Amino acid sequence: MNLSRYIRSLRPTPCNCGSGLDRRELVDARGIFCSFVCDKCERRKRAEFRPDIFTDSNYWADEPIDSE
């Protein structure tokens, strides 16, 4: 990756919901990426997941979760 592309990658990116707000990562209690969100769409995006994954790092999962 060249320097100018790297610098552009550090700039905030608008959320895909169309709000024009900067996006950020939504991660669960284990630090696993779930989605990109902004203040406007975070509630709606969180509703697509079980609520406990954001508060309980020992939540039940039907597949092994390996630490990286």
pLDDT for position 65:
79
Determine the length of the chain. Answer: 68
pLDDT for position 1:
59
Q: How far is CA 41 from the centre of its chain?
A: 12
Domain regions of the chain by residue span: 11-54
Largest CA distance in the chain: 43
- 9-63 pLDDT per residue, tens: 778 899 999 999 999 999 999 999 999 999 999 999 999 999 999 999 999 998 8
Given a contact cutoff of 8 angstroms between Cβ atoms, the answer to whether 36 and 15 are in contact is yes
Q: Model pTM?
A: 0.76
